[in-house]
A and B are shown apart, each in its own frame.
Chain A
Amino acid sequence: MIEFLQQLINGLAFGSILALIALGYTMVYGILRFINFAHGDVFMLGAFSGFYLAPKIAMILPLPSVAGGILVSIVSMAICAAIGVLIERLAYRPLRHQPKLTMLITAIGVSLFLEYTSQFIFGAAPKKFPEILPAFPLAKIGGLNLNSNQIVVFVVTVLLLIVLRFIILKTRIGTAMRAVSFNPQAAALMGVNTDIVISFTFALGSALAAAAGILWAINYPAIDPLMGILPGLKAFVAAVLGGIGNLPGAALGGLIIGVTETLVSGYISSTYRDAIAFAVLILILLVKPSGLLGRKEIEKV
């Protein structure tokens, strides 16, 4: 029983980070209908900006501390938001009126570019991510282990999900985002500046990726230039599983992937761990072809 509870905690902790990355994926997809393949690499850049910022911020605020950790995260999020906007401006915007697949290829190009450039600049060896948040074990009841960092991840994910829902449903820019998502031409005709809306979406998505990158690095403090590939892929699976374009769906998908992967590799076989996420995905999509919470699009003849 203790072991099962522990595995459940492991799964939820891992799943909530995947959920956080998946939120960024799904948001960009919701507005642009396009898989931003470079999202995992922005996630990596988020972790690396935290890595290089921490010593600088340690001069102003003591690290590890809550205030210092938040400051590092916010500055990294700002840096990645700028990078995200820049990527969109240079690599995606010129192709907005082309078939979506051409954008996918530039996204792959951007992803490769970020990976190889990071290996060139940061070096390939893994780096130790500094402790920026005070960490302590929370519970040790009967051999059950729960870490404060795991709680932080879960809380931040839920918090960001609520904030995003608020932005999208209640604010002016959120309304504009929904309008662009629904019909870009009509939105433009109604006076919505689609360029700004899309830039804002990318800024938001990339900031989310950076937040996920930092939380990931706090939990798994070894960062390297290719760290974004695997989580990026799994988060993408999570986003599709929940119904891509749907925010609560992405969070749900992340948790499902995290928990099943942990339970299956803990109890059945860890050799097939990489395949589990995909097997779950295929099974669910065979039953619900547009994901768990995805809306079925009505086809017009």
Chain B
Amino acid sequence: MRIFHALSLLAVSVAMIVFAGCNKSSSSTNADGNIIKIGEFASLTGSEATFGQSSHKGTQLAVDNLNAGSGLLGKKIQLLTEDDQSQAGQSATVVRKLISSDGVVAVLGEVASSRSLEAAPICQQAGVPMISPASTNPRVTQVGDYIFRVCFIDPFQGTVMANFARKTLKLNDAAVLSDVKSDYSMGLAKFFKEGFAAAGGKIIADENYSGGDKDFNAQLTAIKAANPDGIFVPGYYTEVGLIALQAKQLGINCPIFGGDGWESSSLVPIGGKALEGDYFSTHYSPQDTSPAVQNFVKEYRAKYNETPDAMAALGYDSAMILADAIKHVGTTDGAKVRDALAATKNFPGVTGNITIDPNRDASKPAVILTITNGQFKYVETVSP
């Protein structure tokens, strides 16, 4: 008897969902003639909220700027942002909502490669172009020809830092301390290790932590015992500041260096003096004197009262490059926008001149910065 109850309950819910679903699909197509809907998914809450909020702020600024001007194709842009709570499984859901319920013409997101990889097959299947602002895992754009990104990829950045460590810093051996929980950190660490070995260096310690940890003394003490010339920390700024502090407390004085995950105005306040003389590669420098960067930094400060980090700059660029492609073809048709995106050449973005290569990755220079007197200082630009 209870089985019957339970099963009929299930049947009722099935019927309700089907009813709701059918109802919905008819209303989703009535796109308003005067607006262009662009979807964005980001980790606005949850463990990686700080990155998602930054990229969202950058994207929002780009859309506001476009709307303050003439809009796009004479229409206003409506940015529909959905939160995936930094949780696996959620981005698939929200991207489906954006595409099939809201009928967006393109999707922007995400910072984390794992969540972009979840959304990419859906965009590919629906024929909706997707631009990831900051997913550096090479696999993201391999999903299909509708998937683009405006950042460089792990192999490039890893090699850049390996060569920089070997040639500019003249390190003979290095230790690696990477975040075992993060796909970004593990990917970057892998390509750094390969590049460093290829350049004739030696990795003498390979330690891990997991995102959210605050105590790194155990790993750092082990690294200290190996006595490397430098430590590569391909993590996020949320942990890097503490790692640098604890390293200095333990009396480790070799340089620490890392990737674009370091770039944030929150890095120096936490790490303070411990970060002096450390290096990282990133997409742009807020100190860059080019008018594009200075304008962006000024507008961002005016709107949010904080200095934009790399995620914000990339979020801004992802929206701008999409707008540029739509303007170029004069339509929001998915296939045409895709072709226009693929043909993007030397787009003057905040994060440098962006050219989309045949793998739909952004081919653009990496900037290496150092930290002196609590400020990021430009060191060199490495072109691909």
Contacts and interface: CB of A to CB of B under 8 A. Distances in A.
Contacts of B215: 10, 14, 220
B236 to A, nearest CB: 10
Interface in A78-132: 116, 119, 123-128
B231 to A, nearest CB: 14
Contacts of B53: 123-125
B87 interface: no
A71 B13 CA distance: 57
B209 A6 contact: no
A261 interface: yes
B7 interface: no
B305 to A, nearest CB: 12
A3 B210 contact: no
Given A126-B50, A128-B269, A220 B214 contact: yes
Given A128-B269, A266-B221, A273 B214 contact: no
A270 B219 contact: yes
A164 interface: no
A266 B208 CA distance: 10
B372 interface: no
A41 to B, nearest CB: 14
Interface in A188-238: 216, 220-222, 224, 226-227, 229-231
Interface stretch (A57-65, A137-145, A239-247): A137-145
Contact of A145 (B241, B250, B270): B250
Contacts of B208: 270-271, 273
Interface in A257-293: 261-263, 265-267, 270-271, 273-274
Nearest to B240: A222
Contacts of A125: 50, 53, 264, 266
Contacts of A11: 218
Size category of the B interface is 35 or more
B270 to A, nearest CB: 5
Contacts of B222: 3, 7, 265-267, 270
A265 B207 CA distance: 9
B270 A222 contact: yes
Contacts, number: 103
Given A128-B269, A222-B270, A273-B210, A145 B218 contact: no
Task: Place the interface of chain A in its size category.
Answer: 35 or more
A266 B218 contact: yes
B333 interface: no
Contacts of B237: 126
B49 interface: yes
Given A229-B212, A270-B209, A137 B249 contact: yes
A21 interface: no
B45 interface: yes
B311 to A, nearest CB: 11
Interface centre among A11, A116, A145, A262 (most CB of B within 10 A): A145
B207 A262 contact: no
Contacts of B269: 127-128
Contact of B45 (A116, A140, A229, A273): A116
Interface in B175-228: 180, 207-210, 212-215, 217-219, 221-222, 224-225
A6 B219 contact: no
29 contacts: A3-B221, A3-B222, A3-B224, A3-B225, A7-B217, A10-B215, A11-B218, A124-B45, A125-B264, A126-B237, A126-B266, A126-B270, A127-B266, A128-B241, A220-B214, A221-B242, A221-B245, A221-B270, A222-B214, A222-B242, A224-B238, A230-B212, A231-B214, A261-B218, A265-B207, A265-B219, A270-B207, A270-B208, A273-B213
Given A261-B218, A265-B207, 9 more contacts: A126-B237, A128-B241, A128-B272, A137-B249, A145-B249, A222-B214, A224-B238, A226-B47, A266-B218
